[in-house]
Amino acid sequence: MTRSDRERDPDRSRAAILDAAEQLFAEHGYALTSLAEVGLRAGVSRGTPGYFFGSKADLYQAVLERSFDEVRTAVRSGRERALTGDHTAEEILAGAVSDYFDFLSARPNFVRLIEREALGGPARLGREDAPPLSAGEEALAAIAAELGLDPAPSGEAAQLLLSIVSLCWFPVVHADTVARAVGVDLSTPEAHAARKQHVVALVTGGLRALSSIRSDHLLQDASA
């Protein structure tokens, strides 16, 4: 072993505290997580989280920022990967939806943190949501360009993107509540895959429907 666990190592401690805090904030929420618990899980003492991060609120902020950074870089690399090779627009959409579904499923901590934030976190986040917001804008521009949809805010592309996010997001949070209540099992990998397949089918089908609706409108406009 390169270093004993007993040695002093601030980087290691910071990372361990961030990991512990992310897990506990995601699991129990801000109010129900004590700094003592964070220290315990991180293998440091009661006071160390406060020592490194100043206050509980600052620690929470640091957790959020680290999550956002991870997500942003992941979204970037995923997008690059999606555009390699030549595929039809529908294939690209299907692949992106599938990837995003897996992406969120693999990051329940992130999803839960944002969820709690949406419900009104510690203090209402009035600050700029720059990191995730920019990721959203990137995704919006990409989907609009790729599918030939209106890229305006609240336009077709934004609506479709929000639908995709809704469909991929919801099962992560509600596997044991709503999904169970409406009779969808999500506990096994197979069930998970089946859900993903349904979502992809719904979105690609919906894209066709949007196109045809737009065609209808064009026809109506032409005939008027």
Partner DNA sequence: CCATACTTGCTATCCAGCAAGCAAGCGAAG
Partner DNA sequence: CTTCGCTTGCTTGCTGGATAGCAAGTATGG
Nearer to DNA, 54 or 205 (CB): 54
Select from 3-11, 15-23, 47-55, 130-138 the region that touches a copy of itself (CB under 8 A): 130-138
- CA dihedral sign, ordered 106, 111, 95, 82: negative
Q: Which residues does 76 contact at the CB level (< 8 Å), separation at least 6?
A: 138
- Whole-angstrom Cα distance, residue 40 to residue 14? 13
Task: Catalogue the long-range contacts made by 46-53 (C-beta closer than 8 Å, 24 or more residues apart).
Answer: 48/13, 48/17, 49/17, 49/21, 52/10, 52/13, 52/14, 52/17, 53/17
Q: Report d(CA 71, CA 75) in Å as an integer.
A: 6
Among 6, 84, 88, 181, binds a copy of itself (CB under 8 A): 181
Q: Which is nearer to a copy of itself, 45 or 215 (CB)?
A: 215
Q: In this chain, which of 6, 84, 85, 182 binds a copy of itself, going by CB under 8 A?
A: 182
- For residue 215, the partner it binds in a copy of itself, DNA, none, with Cβ less than 5 to 8 A by kind, is none
Q: What distance in Å separates the CA atoms of residue 219 and residue 213, rounded to the nearest whole number?
A: 10
Of the pair 5, 190, the CB lying nearest a copy of itself is at 190
Indicate the residue among 17 and 207 with the shorter CB distance to a copy of itself. Answer: 207
Chain contacts with DNA (rule: CB under 7 A) = 6-10, 12-13, 33-36, 39, 44-48, 50-52, 54-57
Cβ atoms of residues 70 and 62 within 8 Å: no
- Kindly write out the interface string for residues 31-50 of this chain, putting x where it contacts a copy of itself by CB under 8 A and - elsewhere: xx------------------
| Cα-based distances in Å from 16 to 40, 42, 67, 118 | 10, 5, 14, 26
Q: Quick one: 50 or 155, whose CB is closer to DNA?
A: 50
DSSP 164: H
CA count, 13 A, side-chain hemisphere, 50:
7
Taking residues 79 to 118 in sequence order and writing x for each that binds a copy of itself by CB under 8 A, - otherwise, the string is ---------------------------------x-xxxxx
* Residues 139, 161 contacting (CB under 8 angstroms): yes
The binding site for a copy of itself (CB under 8 A) comprises 27-29, 31-32, 112, 114-120, 129, 132-133, 135-137, 139-140, 153-156, 158-163, 165-167, 169-171, 173-174, 176-185, 191, 194-195, 198-199, 201-206, 208-210, 212-213
